[in-house]
Amino acid sequence: MTSSRLRILSLLSCLTLSLSAGTAAAATAKTPVLVIHGGAGVNRASLSAQDEAEARAALERALHAGHQVLAAGRPALDAVAAAISVMEDAPQFNAGRGAVFTHDGRNELDASIMDGASGRAGAVAGVHRVKNPIQLARAVMEKSRHVMLVGDGAEAFAQEQGVTLVDPSYFRTDKRWQQLQKALKEEAGGQAHADIETARHFGTVGALALDAQGHLAAGTSTGGMTNKRYGRVGDSPIIGAGTYANDQCAVSGTGWGEYYIRAVAAYDICARVKYAGQSLQQAAEEVIDRQIPAAGGDGGAIALAADGSMAFPFNTDGMYRGWIGADGVAHVAIFRDGIGE
């Protein structure tokens, strides 16, 4: 075989490999998607027009913040952290600035984040001075050997890592303070325990993202429950209960945390997709709308699959929620006349 023919064959081989690589890259490239929630348990009767408008605006800001990250080609993890940070800064939601008060009149914040591509996760619970708990959860994941840090130890780690700390007064809002006073009055008056508990387990925020590389991430942040005692921790910072992500599925929950923990709700949804072959919608509805209510709990969740499909199950009057795709158009809903129905 002549040297010129060998060169031609070599060039053709390189061209074939190049085309194959390009085809493979095109096949694996994904359209970025961001999905968020601002908590289930929204009551239409008690939501004023102003409160609704402010909540919708905050959801849109969070969606655009996450979309900007994804549009720049950055990882899903960055988009999740960006979107949740915006919601933590918004007093409309029970997370960060808008956190509810404990029985002792304090704010105790919890958060978690998980990278579906690597399986890494980080979480914090019971912090009082961390401006954006989701950022500390990410620092735990990336800068420590641990998954969860709590209380004073978590705040000491935050200071070491340069995570922003604020005076506890930063989290005080009159709306949340009045909610505590009402709960204390009801408790002192002997109102039925179930009646008091019903309105206290909601208001978590969360975000899920699918980036251009096809990687998923999930995060959740909360102020816990009004009038809680004894350092109670719900599902939000617990990987598998309130937050979970793998290479096929990502979930963030919002609801009565004790039931989500017992059900390992976030993981169960993704396990149904991965091992039982259920669609994302079917898996999410089975866990959120059937399994948890059957046990006595309620709430909602957002779920996102690697193929870009989404689910927004909830069994309360409303759930703050939204999503944004590559076109940059934010879609927001609260009650059952919106997305995810």
Residue 239 to residues 7, 8, 33, 126, 261, Cα–Cα distance (Å): 56, 55, 22, 16, 9
CA neighbor of 256 nearest in space, from 284, 225, 227, 231: 225
Catalytic, out of 102, 204, 243, 254: 204
CA neighbor of 227 nearest in space, from 107, 87, 97: 107
In angstroms and rounded to an integer, the radius of gyration of the C-alpha atoms of the chain is 22
| Residue 282 token pair | 């079917």
Residue count (the chain): 341
Q: How far apart are the first and last CA of the chain?
A: 67
Where is 17: in which H helix or E strand? helix 3-28
Active site residue 204: yes
Strand bridging mode 33-42 / 318-324: antiparallel
Sign, CA dihedral 47-48-49-50, equals negative
CB atoms within 10 A of CB 73: 10
Helices (H), 144-214: 151-161, 174-188, 193-198
Beta bridge partners of residue 254, listed in sequence order = 300
CB 220 within 8 A of CB 243: yes
Q: Which residues are catalytic?
A: 204
